[in-house]
Structure 1
């Protein structure tokens, strides 16, 4: 009687085949998960381009948000600084808008509340059209804030509540860390701390916001006010070379042919005040890049280029990026 065969060879190919199938299935799942996570990282989780603000003290703090939120935050900050208000006022305004609307200019809310700050026409904040103008809405918030005695020393949630009179008075506090990061960048106190991907933002179905140098100039004057540029005149020729200074002008000089806006800052030299103003404008331009078609922003030897996630500040490749002027290059 022959010895039994030590194993049965038949089933092995099936077991091996099942292992291969399981491996392939796991590989497909992991690949899909990896692709999903990459998309979430690049878009902030909602399919839109992402912006990021980081701390200027290397403590690892950061806040990710959308270009829509970035543009609204930049406008809120610009309205505050144009009134010579301190950074604390901007922080309070940004935290309030984060709580009330997530920094989105929404056309709905509790009862007749509207806009970034959920202000109510029935309570005397303005007409529906006015309240949904971010510049007007921010201005109204600041008008009420400065009437709060000692608002700079008050806890943020107390100062915000005295303006808003919300049914959830403690809700503003949780937004203070993010608002603090945003305010530091958007007022220019921290350098090269706000970045965006730079892809064009759309609204509605296939509608792209107007862009180009004229749109940039109009947006600067809208957010900061023409008076902020009374000493920001410059001559820019067709080859995009800054020429001699000219008398006061109401808005930044523009080279339409080159698609470049050049904002001379001051003749006072490379002071801390000049640099803060420069970074305020540079960060403002990056925050509005998706809406205004901004492709490059240069300041103080650094540049931001709209190249997907590569839209981050780096050492300027071209010479001539000084602390005396901010250059904003558009695609038009």
Structure 2
């Protein structure tokens, strides 16, 4: 009897595996075999550290970072915010949680964080988090778990610590301090991209100081100036912050190419690296983002090209 029962259990387990595999195949068939695009950030220190995450997480991380730097917050504050969002929601803008908790930071309308619609806006929820963090005396010198807990009042304050290494990698890339360290898998846009939506998203996350401009062929250019508000870094770091932001939001906004600082990321290259453009005067039209010798590949502006 025991032998028979064991055999039945093994058969049942095998059937379950086959059903799961069949379900996966059906989903891949129905949805065209397209998996969610993945993103990756690598360390600029040559220590081999890296972190892989989804395109939706990258989009939210880029917004959290942009809101922080636009408020003049230091990189340490960005790291604290990203680690908190990783713990609270996995950097996903979820519409559920403990009791009435919502959004990236699991903020509660009943506790004065705003109404449900506001909290489900990543830019709003990030701004509220930073506003509370600024009220914590000496937060940048505190252990991350302590600083995050002073804002969140979580029942599991030590849980934030495990996310600090990944959050630090993300913060270094998304603030632009670590150039060309964030990439996302390329995927050609299923529908034409809209440059107006890209410009609106830039202004929403960074404020009107970014002054994005439209151009021919679905191009958006963003002049690069040192960040306002006392944020860390100069114009070069600001340029990489904007460039990484565009890569992180490429899937949602239908962005096909981003160029800055003599490098270019693009879906045609599978989106897995920033390749050197070389001499812009000798580059072909696609490499330079539209015209031979175009300055968009330099350091005076970030060039973003949407699919069309």
TM-score bracket relative to the smaller structure: 0.7 to 0.9
* 1:197–1:307 Cα contact (<8 Å) kept: no
Deviations 1:182-226 (A, max 9, x none): 00000000000000013268xxxxxx8983211110000010111
TM-score w.r.t. the length of structure 1 is: 0.74
Structure 2 residues not aligned, in runs of 5+:
1-20, 29-33, 227-232, 278-286
1:324 to 281, 300, 307: 300
Q: Distance in 1 between matches of 2:37 and 2:269?
A: 8
Deviations 1:271-330 (A, max 9, x none): x71110000000000000000010000001000011374442010143441111100000
What corresponds to 1:254 in structure 2?
Answer: 214
Equivalent residues, number: 257
> Pairwise mapping of residues 163-312 of structure 1 onto structure 2 (< 5 A)?
163-199=151-187, 211-226=193-208, 228-229=209-210, 251-255=211-215, 257-266=216-225, 273-307=234-268, 309-312=270-273
What corresponds to 1:116 in structure 2?
Answer: 104
Structure 1 residues not aligned, in runs of 5+:
1-31, 40-45, 202-207, 230-250
What corresponds to 1:54 in structure 2?
Answer: 42
What corresponds to 1:154 in structure 2?
Answer: 142
For CA contacts below 8 A with separation 6 or more, give which structure has more relative contact order: 2
Which of structures 1 and 2 has the bigger CA Rg? 1
> Pairwise mapping of residues 116-155 of structure 1 onto structure 2 (< 5 A)?
116-155=104-143
Deviations 1:161-193 (A, max 9, x none): 000000000000000000000000000000000
Q: Distance in 1 between matches of 2:191 and 2:70?
A: 25
Change (3 A) 1:315 1:308: closer
Q: Distance in 2 between matches of 1:74 and 1:145?
A: 19
SS at match of 1:65: strand
Runs of 4+ residues deviating >3 angstroms: 208-211, 307-311, 317-320
Q: Distance in 2 between matches of 1:119 and 1:308?
A: 39
Deviation at 1:264, TM superposition (A): 1.4
SS at match of 1:162: helix
Q: Distance in 2 between matches of 1:180 and 1:102?
A: 15
Q: Distance in 2 between matches of 1:47 and 1:315?
A: 28
Q: Distance in 2 between matches of 1:290 and 1:311?
A: 14
* 1:210–1:292 Cα contact (<8 Å) kept: no
* 2:83–2:163 Cα contact (<8 Å) kept: yes
* 2:183–2:271 Cα contact (<8 Å) kept: no
